[in-house]
Amino acid sequence: MELTNSGVNVRGFSCAGWRKGKYGVAMVLSDVEVNCAISVTSNRVKAAPLLVSLDHVKMGKIRGVVANSGNANAYTGVGGVQDAKEMCAFAAGKLRLAAENFLVASTGIIGRRLDMDIVKEGINFVSENLSSSSKASLEAAKAIMTTDTTPKMISVKTSLKDGTTVEIGAIAKGSGMIAPKLHATMLCFITTDAYVPKDKIKKILANSIDQSFNMTVVDGDTSTNDFVALLANGMAGNKDVDDNFVEALNFVTREIAKKIARDGEGATKTIKVKILKAANLEDARKAARTVVGSNLVKASIYGEDLNWGRIIAALGYCGAEFEPEKLSISINGFRLVDKGRVLAIPGTQEFDKAKKSLKKSEVEISVELNSGNASATAYGCDLTPEYVKINSGYTT
C-alpha cells in the first residue's frame, strides 16, 4: 500500500469545489454508474438530504454526489426535502443525467431553508469545472468545510491478491459535533476504482466505519447530517475484492478520523486511547470511546494535569467487564498503574516524566484491562476554552 495525491479523483472520477461567503458547493462524479453504500446519522432527526440520498441509493443508479456547506437543510420539513431533490435535479440537468444519479449532502446551521439561488450558482460552477486533478479534489474538500481549519483528503494504492492495482481516495469535513454514533458533523466521500460487489459493499463500509469514525469523539454530540458514502466504479477491472482492499479502506477511514480529531474545534492536543486485553471487542471499544470522550479526561489533558484518576473513573462507568485491581495504565509510554499498583505518585520519577510528556501535541493513553485478548483504539482531542467560544457564537 502506498500513499498517492489523487484524493477522490481516482481513475474514472472527477470533482470540483466552489465557495461564496459561508456557502460552499462540491461535486464528485464517476464516468460510469457505481456500486454504492452509504451510512447516515443515528440521530432521530435526519436532515432532508439524507432522506433523499437513502431513496436514491436504493435505485442503484448512482453516478456521484453533490453537497453544500453553510446550511444543514435539517429540520426544514417538506420544503427542505424539495430543496434537496432540487439540488440533485439541477445538478443532473447540467450534466444530462437523472436526479436519482446523485446523492446529496449538506452541512451547516440547522433549522433554516437553503438559499437555492446561491446553491445553484455553486452547482453551475462545479458542473462546468469538473477535473480529475489532485488540486480539484483539494478544492472540493475545502468547499465542504465549516468550522474546519484545514481540508481533509487522502488516497492510497494497493494491490489485490489477483495482482490488480486499485486506488481508494476520500475527502471529508468535520471538527465539531463528533461522536461515535455515526458520526459527527461530518461528511466523508470515498471513491475507488475497484469493483466492489453489491452484496459486499455495505458490510465492508460498515465495518470500516466501526473501526474509525465510530471510534472518534470530539465533543460527544451526534449531528443530524452525518453522511459517509463509498462509491466503487469498477474501472480497475477486478472481479472481487479481498483483505488487501479492506485493509486499505480501513487505513483511509482511520486516517480521516485522525484528521477530524486533530482538527477538533479549539483543540490544542490530539488524544489516542488504546484499550488492550479486554474481554471482547465490544468491551474494548466501549472503554476506548468512553475514555476519549470524557470531558474530564479532555480537560485534564488540555491543562497538562496528570489526573489519571479521571481515566479510572471513565473506565468505571464505560460498561466493560474488568477487575479494577487488575488495571494497568500508561500515558505516552510512562507507566502510571501496573496491575492495580499505583506507580505515579507526585514526587516519583514516573509521575514527573508522565506529567512532562503531557506538553506534547499528541497524547497516547494505554489501558490494559487484563480480562481477555481484545483491543481497540479511539481518537479524540482536548477540551479547551476556544471550543466554548466557537460554539457559543456559531450562528452569530
The catalytic residues are: 185
The H-assigned helical ranges of the chain are 48-59, 77-95, 116-128, 134-143, 198-210, 243-262, 281-293, 295-302, 309-317, 349-357, 385-392
Please check whether residue 272 is in contact with residue 364, taking contact to mean a CB–CB distance below 8 angstroms.
Answer: yes
Contact 233, 196 (CB under 8 A): no
Cα–Cα dist 189/164, whole Å: 23
Strand partners, 338: 341
Q: Kindly state the cell numbers that stand for 226.
A: 452525518
CB of 111 within 8 A of CB of 75? yes
190 exposed, middle or buried (CB, 10 Å; 0-12, 13-18, 19+)?
buried
> Around Cβ 323, how many Cβ atoms within 10 Å?
11
Q: Could you give the CA distance from residue 122 to residue 94 in angstroms, rounded to a whole number?
A: 12
Q: Tell me the CA end-to-end span of the chain in Å, nearest whole number.
A: 45
Determine the Cα–Cα distance for residues 151 and 149; give it in Å rounded to an integer: 7
* Dihedral pair phi/psi, residue 286, rounded to 5°: -60, -45
Grid cell of 112 as nine digits: 433554516
Q: Is 265 within 8 Å of 176 (Cβ atoms)? A: yes
Grouping H, G, I as helix, E, B as strand and the rest as coil, residue 347 is coil
C-alpha dist (Å) from residue 96 to 88, 93, 155, 208:
12, 5, 29, 34
- Taking the C-alpha atoms of 240, 242, 248 and 250 in order, what is their torsion angle to the nearest 10 degrees? 110
Distances, alpha carbon 106 to alpha carbons 16, 40, 74, 221, 352, in Å: 16, 12, 8, 17, 47
